[in-house]
Structures are given as structure tokens and as C-alpha cells.
């Protein structure tokens, strides 16, 4: 029992020393904050959501205006006025820029018209190809090979080739052979 009481006394002493240390730390923090919160003219300022809203216009009126040198004042007055040469330069630059933009728009318009013309011609070509294919199909479907054979044999006197009449040649290309001279026997 004697050991437990001693531990309780030590714990209470430790708590007291801890509280004193925390209080000292808080006071030091307040002192540091006060030292940091002073500005050049010894007024306090507060950071965070408790900042007072200042009247900026009143502050601007109270603040003394900086002295402006004569050279600075003269330069500011010169900057307000444009010379005739500068106005002429800006006018010429504006006209040149306008001319370039108008030509650019004209070229864009020409390109657009050319693309539309090409599209129209491609459509016309496709229509002509389709019509040509349809006409070819119609013509080939109407051809009667038996009638052609009958006319060739009966009316024109044509005959089938016989064994000795067919001559074979070796060709370099697979297309066809062109006869330029008489065929030797």
C-alpha cells in the first residue's frame, strides 16, 4: 500500500509540472505572436477569420503620394500623346494586315470552291461509271452466241480451223502475239 501511495504522489507531481510547462509554453507563444504581429508603425494586425475589414479608400487618402521626378512626369505626358509618324506607321500596319487577311480569306474561299468542284466531278464520274457498267451488262446479256455462230457459218462462210492450220508460238508475254510477217511453213 505504501508503494501505491508513493506512485500516486509522483503522478500528481508530474501532472502539476506538466500543467506549469504547458502554461509557460502558451505564454511564450503569445509573446512570440505579439512580437511578430507588430508592423513598422507599431500597429497590431490579426491573421485568420478575425481580421477587421479596413477602409482601403481612407488608407489611400492618408498615405502620402510618392514624389514624381520631372523626367518621369514628362515621360508620362509624352506617352499619352502619339506622334504623326507613329500614327502613320500604325495605319500602314493596319492596312497591310487587312490586305493580308482579305487575301487569306479569298484563298480559303477558292480552296473551298475547288474542293466542292472536285466533289461534284467525282460524283459525276461515279454516276457515269455506274451507267457504263449497267449498259455493258445490258449489252452482254442480250448477245446470243448461237445466233452469231449461225450467221458466221451460213451467211459469211466461215469454218472451224482444222488440225494443220493451228500453229503454236512461244511468247514472252502472256497477253497476245502480234504477227508482223508471214508465218514460215
Cell numbers given for 12: 500528481
Rounded to 5°, the CA angle 94-96-100 comes to 115
In angstroms, the CA 19 to CA 13 distance is 10
Res 104: pLDDT:
97
Contact 169, 177 (CB under 8 A): yes
Res 53: pLDDT:
63
DSSP letters of 19-45? HHHHHHHHHHHHHHHHHHTB-TTS-B-
In a structure prediction context, what are the per-residue pLDDT tens digits for the chain, which is 185 residues long? 566 666 677 677 777 776 777 666 666 555 555 555 444 445 555 566 665 666 667 777 777 777 888 888 888 887 777 788 888 999 999 999 999 999 999 999 999 999 999 999 999 999 999 999 999 998 888 888 888 889 999 999 888 888 877 777 777 777 776 777 887 66
- Three-state DSSP class for residue 177: coil
Boundaries of domain holding 100? 88-158
In this structure, the answer to whether residues 92 and 37 fall within a common structural domain is no
In angstroms, the CA 62 to CA 60 distance is 6
- Give 44's strand partners: 38
For residue 38, is it within any domain? Answer: yes
| Count: domains in the chain | 2
Contact 46, 52 (CB under 8 A): yes
Res 160: pLDDT:
86
Res 7: pLDDT:
65
In this structure, the answer to whether residues 94 and 154 fall within a common structural domain is yes
For residue 23, is it within any domain? Answer: yes
Res 15: pLDDT:
72
**DSSP conformation class of 81:** S
Backbone phi, then psi, for 38, in 5-degree steps? -85, 135
Place of cell 509618324: 85
Cell numbers given for 70: 520631372
- Three-state DSSP class for residue 38: strand
In this structure, the answer to whether residues 99 and 154 fall within a common structural domain is yes
Contact 153, 159 (CB under 8 A): yes
Helices (H) and strands (E) in the chain, counts: 5, 0
For residue 82, is it within any domain? Answer: no
For residue 66, is it within any domain? Answer: no
CA count, 13 A, side-chain hemisphere, 20 = 6
The pTM is what? Answer: 0.37
Res 103: pLDDT:
97
Amino acid at each position: 500500500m505504501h508503494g501505491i501511495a508513493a506512485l500516486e504522489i509522483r503522478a500528481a507531481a508530474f501532472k502539476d509540472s506538466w500543467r506549469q510547462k504547458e502554461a509557460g509554453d502558451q505564454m511564450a507563444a503569445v509573446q512570440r505572436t505579439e512580437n511578430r504581429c507588430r508592423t513598422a508603425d507599431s500597429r497590431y494586425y490579426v491573421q485568420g477569420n478575425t481580421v477587421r475589414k479596413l477602409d482601403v479608400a481612407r488608407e489611400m487618402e492618408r498615405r502620402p503620394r510618392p514624389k514624381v521626378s520631372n523626367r518621369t512626369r514628362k515621360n508620362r505626358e509624352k506617352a499619352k500623346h502619339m506622334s504623326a509618324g507613329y500614327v502613320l506607321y500604325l495605319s500602314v500596319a493596319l492596312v497591310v494586315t487587312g490586305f493580308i487577311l482579305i487575301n487569306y480569306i479569298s484563298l480559303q474561299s477558292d480552296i473551298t470552291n475547288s474542293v466542292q468542284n472536285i466533289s461534284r466531278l467525282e460524283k459525276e464520274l461515279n454516276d457515269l461509271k455506274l451507267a457504263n457498267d449497267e449498259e455493258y451488262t445490258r449489252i452482254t446479256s442480250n448477245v446470243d452466241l448461237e445466233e452469231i455462230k449461225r450467221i458466221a457459218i451460213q451467211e459469211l462462210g466461215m469454218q472451224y480451223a482444222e488440225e494443220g492450220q493451228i500453229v503454236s508460238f512461244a511468247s514472252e508475254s502472256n497477253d497476245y502475239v502480234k504477227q508482223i510477217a508471214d508465218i514460215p511453213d
